[in-house]
Chains A and B, each alone.
Chain A
Amino acid sequence: MNVPTHAAASRTTDRALSVHGVAVFLFLYVPILLLVVFSFSGASNLSVWGGWSLRWYQKMFSNDPLLRSMRNSVVVAVVSTGISTVLGTAAALALERYRRWLGKRTFDALLYLPVIIPDVTMGVMLLMWFTTISWPLSLTTIILSHIAFNISFVAIVVRARLANLDPSLEEAAADLYADRWQAFRRVTLPLIMPGIVGGALLALTLSLDDVVITSLVQGPGSTTLPVFVFGLIKRQVTPEINAVSTVMLLASMVLVFGSLAFQRDTKAEPSPEAP
């Protein structure tokens, strides 16, 4: 084997890979950077730079329909995340911990459905359902719809965590005189908490982000922020949209860093192998 040629080839590969890495980063982050920069542009058109200005932020915070949609988004996200986290965790526990019960396989398959089927299908189905039972479309129907798809995501994330949990830990708790609630509260729950938090954050993000389903099941005055922004773009594109997007970006970053900090707190200390 020709060693020098091989080494040269590997150097070329290394260089190509690092160029590729930089390119990926640029591809991901340049648009975001541009979006943030242009939110501070004074011009009313996105194609020109109008000098530094906060006018679009001012405009945004005096835009009542936009603020209402923002508030709606937060209400929908918080309520639907709360409820779907509890129900999704319960579903994960039922599927992972109780081995045999009637209809388990059916339920298992059904649980994945909201993840697989297109949002449009899901939205139309929900809309038809609400119409059939004559439930007026409102913020409540949005919340119910978001719960409907978020349960699946939470359940999947929590199940992954539960599957890695040694079942003998619960047996040990029971053996040490814990009743079922105490075993759950003191052993299972703390150990699957990172999964629950992860699932909840995913639910929160999906809810804040949803356009398709929400736009189908919303009622008058119950528009959420992403749907509202989507509507704005159809009319005219101004840096106000950039300002809104920057605020949303900031909010998601706070959420992500918050969850990272939480997970660092709950994780066990590094585990050096003791002698």
Chain B
Amino acid sequence: MTEGLALALTLAIPFAGAVLIGVTRRRPNVREGVTLVTATALFLTVLWLLDGVLAGARPAVELLEVIPGLPLALEIEPLGMLFGLVASGLWIVNSIYSIGYMRGNNEGHQTRYYICFAIAIGAAMGIAFAANMFTLFIFYEALTLSTYPLVAHKETEEAKLGARTYLGILLSTSIGLQLVAIIWTWQIAGTLDFTPGGILAGKIEGIFVPILLALYMFGIGKAALMPVHRWLPAAMVAPTPVSALLHAVAVVKAGVFTVMKVAVYIFGIDFLAVTGASEWLVWVAAATVLLASFVAMTKDNLKARLAYSTVSQLSYVVLGAAVATSMGVIGGSLQIVMHAAGKITLFFCAGAIYTATHKTEISDMVGLGRVMPFTFGAFLIGALSIIGVPPLAGSWSKWYLMLGAADAGHMVIIGVLMVSSLLNVAYLIPVVARGFFLPAPAIDPQPASAGAAAVPANPGGIHEAPLFCVLAPCLTAAGCIALFFFADSIYRLLAPIAMR
């Protein structure tokens, strides 16, 4: 197998999987089997490519040429490799979880759900490995459109409203701002290829640099920079596995990943640093970090709180790009991975709680930790990782981000990051503390008497969620710990882009 072929396969596998899922729609067990096999095959393919990329290879493949000079092409570089690994790896875990969740809650339209999921992952792969901004944009839109049915999944009025906000904001920012930025770039630079060092140096100057950057940054609505973050809380009407993989990992990470790509390969870090074009972005990102944390504290709905927490955490990555130093880039890129592991754990736990008890509000979750120790244990680990406590994954990204901010002379940003950590403590830890340390309300819990397959809403028999639903958060929580110790290998993967 050549590397070019493997690269094309990373796109082909999920889309073929989507077709097969449709074919096997009448037999749910086979259908879910297809999902798992597809996810595993995809992850192995991406993993197979990793060695070469670590050794410095940059496999590339051109699919077709849409307009002369504007091809659909794929090329792997370290940043994309990282995002590809995260998205494909977590898809496996998430598929296991999906099976437990969708069956546990008797959700309808499961075939449509799994098909859209596979397409969304395929689009995420396209974003990860895009060789130019045009290809990236195409898959960016594909990701938006394929996740729309997932957000509207429940088909209730609330779901439709949420989905409308979701599609409205993501499409209007991407077509209204990002596309203009892309065509503008094409017009002045004559290329859209991701080139180390950027393609814009010397082609554009003065006030236009920050304007173009703003078109990109707000045009990449998936990065949820305030004030274009509204779609993310709106998307929380989706089933929890969707929120977990797509709105904590694939979609939002595709957003901040695009931000990184634009900063590193379109503008070029040095160009940004010299022109100071990203100065304003530092402050917008810092404001988003803090404001979103404040909003998160006011939310009683667990998923809404996690959503705002995501908005806040995403801006860490934007900060990393905006300070325009190599440590900032490393920190931002690490944050893509570390936050993914932590946040998906938290969402898995939220879904497990919902499946077991049908509770969505944090104030109702008092005392649940005693009956669902694994779920709440995993939640604790995920939360501590997000806060940035060693020895958990999140501590590394904060470490490098602070180094990056210090390099750029932004001492205030270090303060912002520290305050943000405190705010994280304030809105995440109470969930766990109330679960473990406060006694449950009097009507709850009677001794768990029902069998393992009891109806989840059974008020007398609260116990752990189905096995699949508990297994997934435990795995990702373990991942949070493991990533702390493997941060070095990720650093080595990323070093070439930052140390040029």
Answer yes or no: are A and B bound together in one complex.
Answer: no
